């Protein structure tokens, strides 16, 4: 009497009727290949099986890459839409005070940051009533502050958009929110000839929100729009 286990008739019929079900199941196929290798014995090298394993490994890598590319594309598209919404919101106000207030509320919400600060270099005192009314967003600093802040006092060259993690924010910029800030995006602003530069700082409580490894193209675009909008108010 044969000791070979007989396959159930219903299961056999199902496999014959729809063999692609077996072919599409990686776990089942690997089990069948392993059983075949075991039946051949340890002295036989199955080159076809080795080639299939290598192809499966390459396919897995390609699928991982494919998923990573799709995720990156989706994230980039979401970031682009986010910046576009922020720009449109920024272009709506017809009054400078409303513009700055929206910057610290609606624009900050769209960009999902916890603080937005506009730093203007000026010889004017920050005790001016107009400045104090907008103190939640606007702060005035002495000439040269922007470059010092961008380089953290080390001097040298720096990118117009700097992304970095920090231990905590600077009180001079973030005020009473400084102790909560763990990362920031610093956007240097050029307001045109014979004007002192400015700085737009986006702060986040998330230490991974802004890091040097991230691309800055979208924020560079945002800074360019912001510069041109500010030139209109400063003219």
Strands 115-121 and 138-141: parallel
Residue 186 predicted with pLDDT over 50: yes
Mean pLDDT of 188-193: 91
Q: Name the domain count of the chain.
A: 1
Name which residue leads in pLDDT, 214 or 55: 214
Strands 183-189 and 115-121: unpaired
Residue 149 predicted with pLDDT over 90: yes
Confidence of residue 31 (pLDDT cuts 50, 70, 90): confident
User: Does any domain span residue 30?
Assistant: no
Name which residue leads in pLDDT, 65 or 225: 225
User: Does any domain span residue 128?
Assistant: yes
Q: How far apart are CA 163 and CA 177, in angstroms?
A: 18
User: Does any domain span residue 13?
Assistant: no
β-partners of residue 118 are 138, 200
Mean pLDDT of 4-20: 74
Residue 1 predicted with pLDDT over 50: no
CATH code of the domain in which 203 resides: 3.30.450.40
Domain that holds residue 166: 93-234
Tell me what the pLDDT averaged over the chain comes to: 82
Q: Which range, of 5-14, 21-30, 40-49, 215-224, averages the lowest pLDDT?
A: 40-49
Closest alpha carbon to 117 in 21, 1, 202: 202
For the question of whether the overall pTM of this predicted structure is more than 0.85, the answer is: no
User: Does any domain span residue 62?
Assistant: no
Structure tokens at 13: 């019929």
Structure tokens at 36: 């075949």
Helix, strand, coil percent content, the chain, rounded in steps of 5: 55, 15, 30
Residue 37 predicted with pLDDT over 70: no
Mean pLDDT of 186-193: 92
User: Does any domain span residue 36?
Assistant: no
Alpha helices in 4-46 (DSSP H): 9-17, 20-23, 26-40
**DSSP designation for 190:** -
User: Does any domain span residue 29?
Assistant: no
Q: How far apart are CA 130 and CA 209, in angstroms?
A: 32
User: Does any domain span residue 167?
Assistant: yes
User: Does any domain span residue 65?
Assistant: no
Dihedrals phi, psi of 14, to nearest 5 degrees: -65, -40
């Amino acid at each position: 009497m044969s000791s070979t286990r007989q396959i159930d008739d219903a299961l056999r019929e199902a496999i014959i009727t729809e063999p692609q079900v077996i072919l599409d199941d990686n776990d089942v196929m690997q089990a069948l290949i392993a059983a075949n290798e075991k039946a051949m014995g340890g002295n036989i090298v199955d080159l076809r099986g080795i080639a299939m394993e290598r192809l499966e490994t390459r396919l897995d890598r390609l699928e991982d890459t494919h998923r990573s590319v799709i995720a990156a594309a989706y994230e980039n598209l979401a970031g682009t839409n986010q910046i576009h919404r922020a720009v449109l919101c920024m272009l709506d106000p017809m009054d400078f005070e409303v513009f700055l207030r929206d910057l610290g509320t609606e624009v900050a919400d769209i960009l999902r940051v916890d603080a937005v600060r506009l730093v203007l270099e000026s010889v004017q005192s920050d005790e001016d009533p107009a400045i104090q009314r907008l103190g939640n967003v606007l702060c005035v600093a002495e000439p040269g502050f922007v470059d010092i802040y961008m380089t953290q006092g080390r001097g040298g060259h720096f990118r117009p958009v700097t992304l970095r993690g920090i231990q905590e924010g600077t009180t001079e910029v973030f005020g009473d929110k400084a102790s909560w800030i763990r990362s920031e995006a610093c956007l240097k602003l050029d307001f045109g000839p014979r004007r002192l530069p400015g700085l737009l700082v986006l702060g986040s409580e998330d230490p991974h929100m802004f890091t040097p490894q991230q691309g800055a193209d979208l924020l560079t675009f945002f800074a360019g729009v912001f510069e041109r909008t500010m030139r209109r108010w400063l003219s």
